[in-house]
Structure 1
Amino acid sequence: MLRTRAGLFLALAGALLLPGCSLLPRQGADDAAQRRAVPAVVAALPDADASGTPPAAQRPAFTLEVNAPDAVRDYLARHLDLQRYRMLGDLSDAEVARLLGAAEGNARDLLGTLGYFAPTLTLELRDTPGGGAPAPRAVTITVEPGPRTHIAEAHVGFAGPIAADGDAAAQRAGIENGWGLKPGQPFTQSAWDDAKAAGLRALTARRYPAGRLAGSQAAIDADAATARLDVQYDSGPLYRLGGVQVRGSERYDPVIAERLARLQRGAAYDQATLLEAQARLAASGYYDSVFLMLDTEAPDPLAAPVIAQVRDAKLQKAVFGVGASTDSGPRLSLDHTHNQLPLIGWRAVSRISLDRKTRLASTAWDAPPEENGWHWLTSALVQRETTGSYDVSSGRLRGGRGKSGDHIDRTYYLQYDYASNQGAESSSPSAAVSVNYGWTGRYFDSALEPTRGMGLALSLGLGSTLHAPREPYTRTYARWLGYQPLGSAEAAGGEARRSRLALRLEGGAVVARSAAPVPSTEMFLTGGDTTVRGYGYNQIGARVDGDRTFAGRYLAVGSVEWQRPIVRNGEATAFESTVFVDAGAVANKPRDLQAKVGVGAGVRWRSPVGPMQADLAYGVDARRLRLHLRVGFAF
């Protein structure tokens, strides 16, 4: 017992001789307070288990009560060092007195992490004899935290090339304006650490990936309850992109990865640019995994190589799918991918799909991108689809060129269309050949879950029907989607995502003589999950011959949707609520366009697999409710 007591005394003495935590400019004082002397305590307990926990039946050495305002009471009760020793039932009076002597400094350190540097503390130790007391002693700590320290001024300085580089002025301003601790805000250790880390992330995200925190100081005036902050960042050298070094690829030519990445040699380093290139490579189908990083150890930072660590996808892959949608019911599909066709080396993606309204078989072949980014493309499709009030058997052949950029996609192609309608009354088949050009621009803040920005898609086709009477025609189509931020939904812990308006416009026209037999697949129908909610898929068309629905030559669609984040119990959630109004019309003549309106409300969820939406819409003309479900975002 004497040996155990001696060991315990030495352990406690070593713990008490450790210097107190210095709050500034050191980080994590509260974490250090929790870790101090834990190994010594465990070593002094021969009866403790492997985790250092004393036997449950052992009587505590003392009870601990903290009397303080709510803002600090729980924090102190949770992190005071005294809590570490409370269950050591064989502590002597002298040992408890020594612990109590160190507790005041420990409490002041902890209060300092919360911004209280002039507290008033009273510590009381009293005996509680008697078998009914939970412990032989009671410790009470009474705290008057005093005024909370607020930021008086904050200075962010720069050293290295960023300090004099005129091209980096916007980056410097962004770090200064985005500094997390503004004058007037309360000072806390965690906020101070977070602000420094956020500034460093903003520095290293562009141009200066080797940047570092060169120094920081928080000068505290306890009497005035103010803090003056000073931070210095050293940017390190400016880095520019060199070539792409592909590692791990054995099956596919590294040139494919270089051209798909579309990284411009000599461009200043930008982390967002590398992430976008990484996403393109991952989505290309050639690789199962992709990781891009800049080689900051390169001898020449002005030509630093980008290392692409990849794992090749299989040469061929088949995927069997089962699904369902509110528009077309249950669906079965089989997709086959061949990443390198024999002899030509093109990539082929083929698909067979069956659902309640469509039976489809298609294949699309794409050549690897050339040095200028353009690539050859070709596709074929045959399908039988319930469109409006009749079935359409159709086919399509397409061949041309395409190019995908950071924001803009362009294609031009020659297309052959064939369609035959079967309904209550059969109609003659029709066919056409056309030359087409397509342009799509995406300017969203996020490619997967946009909250700001716009997208615009345009297409123009010039064609001729192939069945008598042979007539020329033009086909134009435009689609626009814009997000306009509105106010913010406030959460107790900070600002939640901003609410926004989602505005959508869509229009198309096929201009030809009334007798021209334009294939129905070149004309328009609308209605469904992504167009006019409250109506079935392609349920809105030009109505002729009584109540039968046919595709029309003119299309107009508009939508307004208010998307608002949901805050629950003072915390931002991954859900949003929406209300919307959709309207759409199809006709064979512009003057006959009559809008069909759908109104409703829905929920959005930012799920791990992408945004999911569920909308309940009422079709004013159809006089019925419809549930619309959708996963993902595409434009």
Structure 2
Amino acid sequence: MYLFERKFMSVVGRSFALFLLAFSGLALIAAPSAYAQSSWQTSDAKLAVVIEGLAEPYSTNAYNYLTVAALVEETVPSVIRVRYLAQQGEQEIKTALQPYGFYNSDVTHKIIETEDTWTVKYQVNPGPVTTYNQVDITLLGGAQYDADFDKLLRNHKLQKGRPLRHQDYEALKGALRNLAAERGYYDAKFTAQHIDVLRDQQLANVTLMFDSAERYLFGDTIFCCAFISNKLLNRFLDHQSGEPFSTRKLLDLQVDLASSDYFSHVEVSPLWDQTNNNQVPIDVRLEPNKRNRYQFGLGYGTDTGARVTMGFDRRWVNDRGHKLSSVVRLSEVQNTGFVSYQIPGNDPARDVYSFNGEITDRSYEEQRSTLYKTSVSDLRHYDRWHRTYQLAYQREDFSFGSDPSESSSFLIPSVQWSLIESSSLEANRNITDDGYRLSIMLQGGHDSALSETTFASVKLSAKWVHRLSDQWRILVRSEVGALRADNFEELGPTLRFFAGGDHSVRGYAYQQLGPTNDEGVVVGGRYMTASSVELDYAIKSNWRIALFTDIGNSMMDWNERLKQSAGFGVRWISPIGPVRLDLAMALDEPSNPWRLHLTIGPDL
């Protein structure tokens, strides 16, 4: 028996050895001569992933879900790992498509092996999109009677028949939470929130139940560490104790206090843990700014030449928030001293009264003028609108060329309205994306009320900026002015109209377009117009080039000829705003050389 077993095992062993030898020979014969790899070997090839059958943004989202995508451009690991991750990727792609409403997708894959690259290729059929069927949104608590919640629910995207988008579903939930927080529903919560997907019917039922509870009310507002009187601080408030709570009003309060320039730090906080009778007290902590501010600056402008600016501000004179501002500007063309005493209005964030004094001495191209001016102003802000009433008394000594100096005095009431609306590029807040500015100013005087002669003038200006594409913008500017006077010769230069210069008609010198006297000195006109069309192109994020043409003039009659210029320029979007360097040629005076213009400031 033992001998039989030994013979049997010997026969089996020889047979198995022969089988292995034969199998190995067949494998060597069948294997490609150029490239062969077993499942336990590694490869020098790189891994790639391809997804076919999906458009954007589905393709990108599917790729981001793939675990195997992390190995792209890496050397292929073991064959077993690649096959495992590739197989796992089918379910990952299906999961990635579900947020877009594709719950019945079909995904297959294959691995294409070459000596240099292994490509995992997925073929995807997203299938039919799932749509909303029943959308049940229920509000409980005070929100069911709140008009803002009603408006929100009228405009949401979860409508029957529309494609299921998880992003829209989450956005609505977030909007309900945010609105509840903004309007003082501090205890709001979802009592039910789910989506039931009927895969075989490609339908989805949504259930949302939002219990806002009751809305909180404003309690007392407590100011801490303020050097300004509570009487003034309370005028910053847009709410009273007992009114419905609003986070927006608290944010506006913080911005208004910070913008007042009284404080270096402002913190506005509702004290939820001290709520009593559904009223939440508001804590406002203030840190004073430096009381005095000194300014000194050097600059250059092609209209003014080199200039020096020195200023002193008293941020608060007393606990009623009065302010004092003063500035002296010295340049090659004009020297100005200005002082202003400002008193906060009923709404100190938007209203201010000011008493002003100004002395300006200007001498340029045979034009000489010394202005002494006092004024009282009332400035109001209405959202985007600004309105200024002013009553000014001025005396001006002036002369043109070799003419003897003259003097005139006027009591001038004026009113100005301005409207500004703009949006900036997200990548750079110092450049206007789209926007416009409109302004109108009316002023006049009467010979029976401390004025040399009766006159009235109006000036309108507008500017529009529009982005045509990612690189191109168009900028259009226009202004027009007109005045009537019983005796035009009595008006000083500051009451007449001039044209030419950096902000008027480039290519011509500052205020050197207009009627002239017998010596050829520009004396200003009754009418003025200046317009510009400019195209600029972004060559880099902070650099632009521009082409422009300007047209305008100052005239005694409307039918006089306008002057035109054309040129090109470079813009640097600096941290303090656009810096513009322009080279312009006066087309109507070809004998004049090209003129350089340098300006700094916002687009509007």
- Equivalent residue, structure 1, for 2:309: 333
Identify the match of residue 51 of structure 2 among 68, 77, 81: 68
SS at match of 1:367: strand
Identify the match of residue 363 of structure 1 among 332, 335, 339: 339
Alignment of 1:517-532 (within 5 A): 517-532=490-505
- Equivalent residue, structure 2, for 1:8: none
Alignment of 1:162-561 (within 5 A): 162-166=143-147, 170-173=151-154, 175-176=155-156, 179=157, 191-192=167-168, 195-196=171-172, 199=175, 203=179, 207=183, 228=204, 230=206, 232=208, 234=210, 236=212, 242=218, 245=221, 247=223, 249-259=225-235, 261=236, 263=238, 265=240, 278-290=254-266, 299=275, 308-341=284-317, 346-370=322-346, 375-387=352-364, 389-421=366-398, 424-442=401-419, 444=421, 449=432, 451-452=434-435, 455-464=438-447, 471-481=452-462, 483=464, 489=469, 502=476, 504-514=478-488, 517-552=490-525, 554-559=526-531, 561=533
> 2 CA distance for matches of 1:387 and 1:302?
68
Aligned pair in 2 of structure 1 residues 472, 99: CA closer, same or farther (>3 Å)? closer
- Equivalent residue, structure 2, for 1:120: 107
Aligned pair in 2 of structure 1 residues 245, 103: CA closer, same or farther (>3 Å)? same
More displaced stretch, 164-173 vs 432-441:
164-173
- 1:178-232 per-position Cα deviation (integer Å, ceiling 9, x unaligned): x5999777x776x5577447745884697567677776655667678x6758484
Aligned residue pairs, count: 546
> 1 CA distance for matches of 2:219 and 2:501?
46
Aligned pair in 2 of structure 1 residues 220, 167: CA closer, same or farther (>3 Å)? closer
- 1:241-290 per-position Cα deviation (integer Å, ceiling 9, x unaligned): 8589475653333544543x463659887777766665544443223344
- What is the deviation of 1:343? 9.6
- What is the deviation of 1:367? 1.8
- What is the deviation of 1:535? 3.3
CA contact (8 A) 2:411 2:449 kept: no
For the pair 1:584 / 2:565, whether they are aligned, the reply is no
- Equivalent residue, structure 1, for 2:562: 595
TM-score normalised by L of structure 1 = 0.66
TM-score normalised by L of structure 2 = 0.69
For the pair 1:80 / 2:66, whether they are aligned, the reply is yes
CA contact (8 A) 2:109 2:120 kept: yes
Aligned pair in 2 of structure 1 residues 166, 279: CA closer, same or farther (>3 Å)? closer
> 1 CA distance for matches of 2:575 and 2:243?
33
> 2 CA distance for matches of 1:352 and 1:435?
24
- 1:313-366 per-position Cα deviation (integer Å, ceiling 9, x unaligned): 200011211222343233221121112236986311111222232222211111
> 1 CA distance for matches of 2:51 and 2:110?
12
CA contact (8 A) 1:445 1:452 kept: yes
Identity %: 17
SS at match of 2:439: strand
CA contact (8 A) 1:616 1:628 kept: no
Aligned pair in 2 of structure 1 residues 87, 532: CA closer, same or farther (>3 Å)? closer
CA contact (8 A) 1:430 1:466 kept: no
Amino acid at match of 1:460: Q
CA contact (8 A) 2:536 2:546 kept: yes
> 2 CA distance for matches of 1:548 and 1:606?
37
> 2 CA distance for matches of 1:602 and 1:272?
43
> 2 CA distance for matches of 1:425 and 1:349?
37
- What is the deviation of 1:622? 4.7
For the pair 1:632 / 2:602, whether they are aligned, the reply is yes
CA contact (8 A) 2:228 2:320 kept: no
SS at match of 2:402: coil
Q: Where does structure 1 lack aligned partners over 5 or more consecutive residues?
A: 1-58, 490-495
RMSD of aligned alpha carbons: 5.3
Amino acid at match of 2:509: G
Identify the match of residue 95 of structure 2 among 92, 109, 124: 109
> 2 CA distance for matches of 1:204 and 1:564?
44
Amino acid at match of 2:510: Y
Aligned pair in 2 of structure 1 residues 342, 240: CA closer, same or farther (>3 Å)? same
Q: Where does structure 2 lack aligned partners over 5 or more consecutive residues?
A: 1-41
SS at match of 1:530: coil
Amino acid at match of 1:556: M
Aligned pair in 2 of structure 1 residues 120, 593: CA closer, same or farther (>3 Å)? same
SS at match of 2:95: helix
CA contact (8 A) 2:221 2:284 kept: yes
Aligned pair in 2 of structure 1 residues 230, 387: CA closer, same or farther (>3 Å)? farther
- What is the deviation of 1:610? 5.0
Aligned pair in 2 of structure 1 residues 291, 376: CA closer, same or farther (>3 Å)? same
- What is the deviation of 1:509? 1.6
- What is the deviation of 1:434? 0.8
- What is the deviation of 1:440? 1.9
